[in-house]
């Protein structure tokens, strides 16, 4: 497949609006902020939201979690759904400093270099500063890809509090674009392009830092977009190599990333919406510098995920809402061919 990955110049505030059009045939179809942070207590936390996830008028809450070290089972929620609903409508406002997405339960302020996220009545309150430049990949319409696909990724360093625990770590904001009017679930990113994606951030004992993201496309795509950022300088790459090691159930347990001469090893410390997301720390990096603190977030889509997407769409059409994801995954495992399977007597 053909794709382009590149570093952008400094964005303006218009780049955070719902009517932003980086190309005439593109508009935002999914906006996704997320964090992986470590508290002064030693706990690792994750939180993620998705604007326009299932429909244009709602924001999905993927949940906030305190990792428990278990990989083959979903972490328990830190905030109950009554404090941070799974889906709700939202408003968009703008001033000279930020474009804001907000509801009764959350507020997301996206500025040119600075961001703020308040959730669950203030139980989560995080500020972030962008590190390096915005890194973008673009997949044009071509045989097998009926929708154009673009992702603009912002890497940041977060500080704040979660339930009073002072936290520091990784912040990411992804703007995903496709054909105006399309839904994120229709554009094929999850079913035709995506296999493994990860991001990472390392703070060194000498005060420096580096991080970025990397992709492993589905077999045969050759998709290997990556962003590598070292102390303010970003480089776009297309040579990422990602190897994964899995538990008996098929959960990603460790990831090895290679970018040219750089190798990074990521250890996973907990599972979120199993089997899709795990997060944890960087256990080793070939830079020769001593790691002080580190974070990673890994996303893994089994190769037959289109069957799950079809089931979800059918359930939504019949009942007006998606099925319970946790119940849908009960009894499932991912086999050595990277396919989600159900043993006899189990299944949705």
Residues 278-294: what's their mean pLDDT? 96
pLDDT-derived band at 346 (thresholds 50, 70, 90) equals low
Residue 246 has pLDDT above 80, yes or no: yes
Instruction: Return mean pLDDT, the chain.
Output: 94
Task: Give the span between the Cα atoms of 118 and 125, in whole angstroms.
Answer: 5
Task: Give the span between the Cα atoms of 70 and 39, in whole angstroms.
Answer: 18
pLDDT digits (tens, 9 = 90+) for 301-333: 999 999 998 898 899 889 988 888 888 998 999
pLDDT digits (tens, 9 = 90+) for 60-90: 999 999 999 999 999 999 999 999 999 999 9
Model's pTM, two decimal places?
0.94
* Farthest-apart Cα atoms in the chain, separation: 58
pLDDT-derived band at 345 (thresholds 50, 70, 90) equals low
Q: Say what the pLDDT of residue 132 is.
A: 95
* pLDDT-wise least confident of 8-17, 167-176, 246-255: 8-17
Residues 6+ away with beta carbon under 8 Å from 306: 191
Strand partners, 229: 211, 234
Residues 148-163: what's their mean pLDDT? 97
Q: Are 40 and 166 in contact (CB under 8 A)?
A: yes
Task: Give the span between the Cα atoms of 90 and 52, in whole angstroms.
Answer: 10
């Amino acid at each position: 497949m053909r794709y382009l990955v590149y570093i952008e110049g400094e964005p303006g505030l218009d780049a955070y609006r719902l009517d932003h059009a980086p190309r005439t045939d593109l508009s935002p179809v999914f906006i996704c902020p997320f964090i992986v942070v470590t508290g002064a207590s030693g706990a690792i936390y994750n939180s993620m939201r998705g604007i326009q996830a299932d429909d244009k008028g709602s924001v999905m809450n993927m949940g906030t979690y305190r990792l428990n070290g278990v990989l083959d089972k979903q972490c328990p929620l830190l905030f109950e759904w009554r404090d941070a609903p799974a889906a709700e409508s939202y408003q968009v406002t703008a001033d000279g400093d930020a474009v804001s997405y907000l509801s009764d339960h959350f507020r997301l302020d996206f500025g040119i270099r600075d961001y703020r996220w308040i959730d669950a009545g203030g139980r989560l309150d995080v500020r972030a500063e962008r590190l390096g430049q915005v890194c973008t990949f673009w997949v044009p319409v071509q045989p097998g890809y009926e929708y154009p696909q673009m992702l603009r990724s912002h890497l940041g360093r977060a500080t704040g509090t979660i339930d009073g625990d002072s936290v520091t770590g990784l912040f990411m904001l992804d703007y995903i674009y496709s054909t105006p009017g399309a839904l994120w679930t229709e554009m094929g990113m999850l079913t035709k392009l995506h296999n493994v994606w990860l991001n990472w951030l390392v703070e060194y004992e000498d005060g420096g830092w580096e991080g970025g993201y990397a992709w492993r496309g589905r077999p045969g795509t050759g998709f290997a977009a990556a962003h590598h950022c070292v102390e303010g300088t970003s480089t776009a790459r297309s040579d990422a190599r990602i190897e994964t090691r899995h538990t008996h159930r098929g959960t990603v347990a460790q990831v090895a990333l290679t970018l040219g001469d750089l190798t990074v090893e990521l250890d996973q410390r907990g599972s979120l919406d199993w089997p899709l997301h795990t997060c944890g720390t960087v256990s080793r990096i070939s830079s020769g510098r001593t790691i002080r603190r580190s974070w990673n977030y890994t996303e893994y889509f089994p190769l037959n995920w289109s069957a799950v997407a079809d089931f979800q769409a059918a359930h939504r059409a019949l009942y007006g809402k998606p099925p319970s994801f946790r119940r849908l995954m009960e009894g499932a495992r991912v086999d050595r061919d990277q396919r989600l399977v159900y043993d006899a007597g189990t299944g949705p």
